[in-house]
Structure 1
Amino acid sequence: MSSESAPQPLRARAAPAPLSGRLRVPGDKSISHRALMFGALAIGTTEIQGLLEGEDVLRTAAAMRLLGATVDRLGDGAWRVAGRGIGGLTEPADVLDMGNSGTAARLICGLLAGHPLFAVMTGDASLRRRPMKRVTDPLAATGARFLTREGGRLPLAVDGARNPLPLDYRLPVASAQVKSACLLAGLCAPGVTRVVEPEATRDHSENMLRHFGATVRVAAEGHGRVIELDGQPELRAAPVQVPGDPSSAAFFAVAALIVPGSRLVVENVGLNPLRTGLFETLREMGAALTVANARTEGGEPVGDLVLRQGELRAVDVPATRAPSMIDEYPILAVAAAHARGASRFRGLGELRVKESDRLSGTAALLEAAGVKVEVEGDDMIVHGTGGPAPGGGLVATQMDHRLAMSALVLGLATRAPMTIDDGGFIATSFPDFVGLMNRAAGGAAIEAA
């Protein structure tokens, strides 16, 4: 489903039964993007299992094909990538269309910067509104040249560096996307590329670089980290097992915590400590959330989330936790709406440059359900109802899949149904979200409006 096709309104009503049973969510989106990209840069053939087959990741697969890699789907979640080696990507014969995926667009900018080729990148209406200067400005130091629309927005043209230079860059704001773009560019440059982040962000790129044979050094610096990458390695094809996406599991976790009587197990969830800020926060709220069958797969910690509905209390979330849960604030706000007391989420400026202005979008979502919410600078205060919210509103999702899914989860436990103006683009990250949620809830809790 293209995010620019006809709108698909959806309505969520009180779940007909408690959420129960065991389920699995699709593969981790961040790891799926990177598996395809690093596979394309490796020598040999990379076998991937559990790849997320949402529209965002399929855009990355298509882009890798246009850049000369051989990318084949073998079956459900099973893919094979025959790589070109570092510096071996070829000039694309067509425009790279990244759809709704900011992750793909920003990381591929880094990948292109280090290659001596010309490429043009675009995206859907939502992505074309999102700023790219935070990536193109540091990448220009490699010698690559970028042309964008006013404000650094797509469509974007890149003339990659013929003799790329290594980067030494201190991120002004913690961002795994910007960090990863710099590391991807550094693969093609001689010497050491050095990136300093003010807060530790998800480290899937560092983990996967090591998995494919690159030398990466990481050292703590205050709340953040210094990452050094030795340039021009020979990446070797390596199998990748993609765990379940914790950002997707978050919707089922919160639904199980707020729908009365629920007991649910979400299996095979990636539990990278730089991605689990939401689960830590939910425990601080008193959530009955435990991990079973903890293990390590492909260098990433994995486990099963065991959840039981119960009373939640308000929480004060520090700004330092934002990088580990930046995508989960809308669904955390849904949990906070059911908690007793006023919750404060601090330091959410990064949410203003997501698929939408996700800060104002989350506030509007709660207001549509009759929940009092305030935005003070980059902080959000949610005044919990201590139980079911009134509901009954219409949410403008702004082509943002996480706002859409969060609003639908909220509707599973409000007194009146919640409606969203469009759910078609949920497929960008979670193609079977509605079907899986309805099965867990014992009936058609979410339907076309």
Structure 2
Amino acid sequence: MSYQAAKPLQIAPARTLSGTVSVPGDKSISHRALVLASLAVGESSISGLLEGDDVLATAAALRAMGAMIERGDDGTWRIRGVGVGGLLQPPGALDMGNSGTSTRLLAGLVASHPIHATFIGDASLSRRPMGRIIDPLSLMGADITASPGSRLPMMVGGGCPGVPIRYMLPVASAQVKSAILLAGLNTPGITRVIEPVATRDHSERMLTGFGAEIAIEETDRGRLIAITGEAELKPQHIVVPGDPSSAAFWAVAASIVPGAALTIRNVGLNPTRAGLFTALRMMGADITECDPRSVGGEPVADLLVRHASLTAVDVPPELAPSMIDEYPALFVAAAFAAGRSVARGAQELRVKESDRIATMAAALGKCGVTVEEFADGLAVTGSGGEAIAGGATVATHLDHRIAMAMTVAGLHARAAVTIDDAAPVATSYPDFFATLARLGGAAC
């Protein structure tokens, strides 16, 4: 799963953008669908699965632990699960590539099974701390040995039987919550997680759909999610909606490029994921939801986004959990708004694929944008809709979202912007640059 040599790419300013986009399947849902289907008794199927490197890393690891996972010629994935408690000892290390989601979810899965697994990853993933899952999973009985700084390589020995816990998340994190819930699947008794701020709820929705016993309660300390262990999951057919994180880049691109109009089809609009669209509308973006519907239990719509004059805003910190992966796109939108936008409450960005606060501050600054960096976010002084200077080579630090965000920024710049390495984009959106060319952009 390691990357090849860096792939620099030059982004030319676009005259305009127009057309229709079908974004890849939601990455968060794709990971979880594979994991739960691999624990069900019987055959499940998944349509619309994101076939990026991150999700394929999850599929490869689950195969190594006994699940039968195949892709049909029609694009439908079929999974024959091993049952909760039925994971097999993997024959070698599990290579997570660049995927923090794969690492955290699968560590939770292994934590309550009688197997040992070694998790490895690329240079970027190996810099990301895993302490926030190590602490609760260790309390549940897992034996975890990580590299210095709680980083990969990391060895996880499952505790069997596991110990049910009641755990208050120190920081709102859907991945940590999900890791604990997955460990709770094969743990006798009731495992409880309290999140101080509601995060994306794909795990709870999908666990319920597969037949797990989930109870959710609002308390004075936050949202409590309880799972009853030693579950038997039933096979399902999952339809994965389009990824709102991928749609975010096109929504921002259409908003900032003069004359642009894009229709983005089949976008998942789960309220715990749609914060970026809320923030863009606060800035004056022209976003229309067309044909709202439900797909696989998730709210979905087509989005028509037209160029608009954006105005700076103070982004409410409470939006952070519902748009944590979309901040790079938001910072780009702010670079073209009139006035000084402030987005804070997002310290989680410091421990993503890169330090997304520092990386975006540096990248936008090299392109002529005035940026002030805080511990938990950025203040960005926008151009009022005018093209930014551009003309720089920006460092992505192996982060797919930085690469896509700065590609969008380069579409309305006075001089071409060069992305130092576009290869990481394949982790979540393999067709991103081909789609850009079809819509009227150019990268070479």
Which band: TM-score by shorter chain?
A: over 0.9
What pairs up with 1:139-218 in 2 under 5 angstroms?
A: 139-218=137-216
Shift of 1:23: 1.7
3-state SS of paired residue (1:328): helix
Partner of 2:443: 446
3-state SS, counterpart of residue 413 of structure 2: coil
- Superposition map of 1:227-246 within 5 A: 227-246=225-244
SS in 2 for 1:397: coil
Match of 1:261 in 2: 259
The answer on whether the counterparts of 2:324 and 2:349 sit within 8 Å (CA) in structure 1 is yes
Please report how far the alpha carbon of residue 378 of structure 1 lies from its aligned counterpart in structure 2 after TM superposition: 1.6
Letter in 1 for 2:402: L
Q: Which amino acid counterpart does residue 306 of structure 2 have in structure 1?
A: R
- What SS does the corresponding residue of 1:194 show, helix, strand or coil? strand
Q: Does structure 1 retain, via aligned residues, the 8 Å contact 2:26–2:50?
A: yes
SS at match of 2:159: coil
Please identify, of 32-41 and 213-222, the stretch whose mean Cα deviation from structure 2 is larger: 213-222
Shift >3 Å, 4+ stretches? 221-224
Match runs of 1:382-401 below 5 Å:
382-387=380-385, 388-401=387-400
Residue 357 of structure 1 is matched in structure 2 by: 355
Report 1:59-208 matches (<5 A): 59-75=57-73, 77-208=75-206
Deviation at 1:3, TM superposition (A): 4.8
- Secondary structure in structure 2 of the residue aligned to 1:75: coil
Residues 335, 223 of structure 1: alpha-carbon distance in 2 compared, 3 angstrom cutoff: farther
What's the TM-score, normalizing by structure 1? 0.97
**How far off is 1:22 after superposition?**
1.5
1: CA distance, partners of 2:256 / 2:209: 39
Identity %: 56
Q: Which runs of structure 2 are paired with 1:50-61 in the superposition (5 Å)? A: 50-61=48-59
Describe how 1:267-416 pairs up with structure 2 within 5 A.
Answer: 267-387=265-385, 388-416=387-415
What secondary structure is seen at the aligned counterpart in 1 of 2:325? coil
Distance 1:228 1:247, change over 3 A: same
CA contact (8 A) 2:13 2:410 kept: yes
Residues 200 and 223, structure 1, Cα contact 8 Å, conserved in 2? no
Q: CA–CA distance in 1 between the matches of 2:73 and 2:56?
A: 14
2:47 to 46, 49, 53: 49
**Structure 2 counterpart of 1:433:** 432
1:12 equivalent in structure 2 = 11
Question: Gaps (5+ residues) in structure 1?
Answer: none
CA separation in 2, counterparts of 1:220 and 1:435? 45
- CA drift of 1:222 comes to 5.4
Partner secondary structure for residue 415 of structure 1: strand
Q: CA deviation at 1:393?
A: 1.1
Query: Structure 2: how far apart are the matches of 1:251 and 1:263?
Result: 13
Query: Could you tell me whether the CA contact under 8 Å between 1:192 and 1:230 is conserved in 2?
Result: yes
Q: What is the aligned residue count?
A: 443
Change beyond 3 A, Cα 1:136–1:23: same
| Matched-pair contact (CA < 8 Å) for 2:18–2:261 | yes
Measure, in 2, the Cα distance between the counterparts of 1:44 and 1:89.
14
TM-score normalised according to structure 2 size: 0.98
Q: Cα deviations across residues 246-281 of structure 1 (Å, max 9, x unaligned)? A: 000001110011111011100001110000000000
Letter in 2 for 1:115: H
Q: Distance in 2 between matches of 1:327 and 1:75?
A: 32
Encode CA deviations 1:88-113: one digit per residue, 9 max, x unaligned.
Answer: 11110111000000000011010000
Q: C-alpha deviations, 1:126-161, integer Å up to 9, x for none?
A: 111100111011101111100111111100111111
Deviation for aligned residue 1:221: 3.5
Check the 8 A contact 2:190/2:227 in 1, yes or no.
yes
- Rounded to whole Å, the distance in 1 between the matches of 2:415 and 2:350 is 29
Partners of 2:379 and 2:333 in 1: CA distance? 13
Structure 1 partner of 2:420: 421
Distance 1:162 1:214 in 2: 19
Contact 1:199 1:223 in 2 (8 A): no
SS at match of 2:270: coil
RMSD, aligned α-carbons: 1.1
Give how far 1:376 is off.
2.5
In the other structure, the counterpart of 1:21 is 19
Whether the aligned pair in 2 keeps the contact of 1:55 and 1:428 (CA below 8 Å) is yes
CA deviation after TM superposition for structure 1 residue 315, in Å: 1.0
Instruction: Give the Cα separation in 2 of the matches to 1:429 and 1:422.
Output: 15
Structure 1 equivalent of residue 37 of structure 2:
39
Specify the alignment match of 1:220 in structure 2.
218
Do 1:247 and 1:328's aligned partners in 2 also have CA atoms closer than 8 Å? yes
In structure 1, how many angstroms separate the alpha carbons of the residues matched to 2:428 and 2:2?
12
- Does the CA contact (< 8 Å) of 1:167 and 1:182 recur in 2? no
* Aligned counterparts of 1:224 and 1:261: Cα–Cα separation in 2: 44
CA-CA distance at 1:421 after TM superposition: 0.6
Q: Is the 8 A contact 2:100 2:125 kept in 1?
A: yes
Matches of 1:403 and 1:186 in 2, distance apart? 34
- Looking at structure 2, the residues matched to 3 and 115 of structure 1 have their Cα atoms a distance apart, in angstroms, of 28
* C-alpha displacement of 1:75: 3.0
Structure 1 letter corresponding to 2:169:
L
Paired with 2:2 and 2:313, the residues of 1 have a C-alpha distance of 35
Deviation at 1:290, TM superposition (A): 1.3
